[in-house]
Amino acid sequence: MQDNLYTYLLMLGDNSMILGHRLSELCGHGPSLETDIALTNMSLDLFGQVRSYFQYAAKVKGDDATEDSIAFLRTERKHLSSLLVEQPNTDFAHVITRQYFFDQYHLLLLEQLCESNDDQINAIAKKSIKEVKYHHRFSKTWMRRLAQGTDVSHQKMQVAVTSLYPYTEELSKANGVEKAMLAEGIGADLDAIKVQYYNELDGLLSDIGLQKPEEGYFYKGGKEGIHTEHFGFILSDFQYMQRTYPDMTW
């Protein structure tokens, strides 16, 4: 088995899976019917990507791995999503900010993966980027709306930005696997992404009148499988059926 490729696919898939999960928790609870439908659409897009990545990962892994064994039967420490996407749906300001912070990265990432010399990743990226362009436009527009809407919304957005900004750096900070994948022409160049990413992010924030935290501290660990305390609760929901009724077909 190609260990690095497999791990890389988990990293790609896990980000989409955990964010998709967070969005799916909102289904039926959105601030308006129209917005509810829009958020669910994004969740569906992300789970579609998860399936593509994990079907491919299952092939790479071999044995009797399936998309579901990969999605449902790993322990917390084996999940490689970034800390940002597991942050809870505290309020709509957090939902939108988390989404925009991820979408901006996701878009830059997929632009590069569209050039990947791995045919499968390349194909998945080409399909996903259309979806993510839409997510990005959606979340960016909402960032603007809420930051410049009312005093209340501005305040809530500032709180969300302050609390979520420290989770952003991890996204574009390459670990060993990501470096190896870049060297093979499969993965993205995160150093390049990082520059563009913060240009976009900081540009938008200053344009819409929001402050990034001054201290400049960042959290990390998700990509190595060390998560926040939220993660266990996500898995107890997500894996409930597979763990309670092992080895059954659904």
Partner 1 sequence: MKNEWPLYEVFIRSKNGLEHRHVGSLHASDAEMAIENARDVYTRRQEGVSIWVVPSSEITASNPENFGELFEPAEDKVYRHPTFYDLPHELKHI
Partner 2 sequence: MEHSIEYLEKQFQDRIDRGENIEAKDWMPEKYRKTHIRQISQHAHSEIVGMLPEGNWISRAPSLRRKVALLAKVQDEAGHGLYLYSAAETLGISRDELFHQLHTGKAKYSSIFNYPAVSWADMGAIGWLVDGAAIINQVMLTRTSYGPYARAMVRICKEESFHQRQGYEIMITLCNGTEEQKEMAQDALNRWWWPSLMMFGPTDAESTHTEQSMKWKIKRKTNDELRQQFIDITIPQAEFLGLTVPDPDLKWNEERGHYDFGEIDWTEFWQVVKGYGPCNKERLKARNKAWDEGAWVREAALAYAEKQSAKKIISKAV
Q: Point out which residues bind partner 1 (CB under 8 A).
A: 32-34, 37-38, 41, 137-138, 141, 145
Interaction pattern, residues 92-111, with partner 2; x per rule: CB under 8 A: x-------------------
Q: What CA–CA distances, in Å, run from 50 to 35, 45, 197, 201, 245?
A: 23, 9, 23, 25, 23
> Binding partner of residue 233 among partner 1, partner 2, none, CB under 5 to 8 Å per kind?
none
Distance of CA 6 to the CA centre of its chain: 18
Least separation in angstroms between residue 215's CB and partner 2 is 28
* Residue 82 engages partner 2 in binding (rule: CB under 8 A): no
> Binding partner of residue 248 among partner 2, partner 1, none, CB under 5 to 8 Å per kind?
partner 2
Q: Which of 239, 250, 218 is nearest to 82 (CA)?
A: 218
Angle between helices 119-147 and 33-61 (to 10 degrees): 160
- Using CB under 8 A, which of 78, 149, 207, 213 touches partner 2? 149
Which window, 99-107, 126-134, 152-160, 210-218, contacts partner 2 (CB under 8 A)? 152-160
Burial class (CB in 10 A: 0-12, 13-18, 19+), 28: exposed
Which window, 1-9, 28-36, 131-139, 211-219, contacts partner 2 (CB under 8 A)? 28-36
**Residue with token string 């129209």:** 34
Which window, 100-108, 140-148, 163-171, 174-182, contacts partner 2 (CB under 8 A)? 140-148
Measured distance CA(250)–CA(7) in Å, rounded = 27
Least separation in angstroms between residue 35's CB and partner 2 is 7
Least separation in angstroms between residue 226's CB and partner 2 is 23
> Binding partner of residue 138 among partner 2, partner 1, none, CB under 5 to 8 Å per kind?
partner 1
* Residue 59 engages partner 2 in binding (rule: CB under 8 A): no
Binding residues (CB under 8 A) for partner 2: these are 21, 24-25, 27-37, 40-41, 43-44, 47-48, 50-51, 54, 67-68, 71-72, 91-92, 144-146, 148-150, 152-153, 156, 237-238, 240-242, 245, 248-250
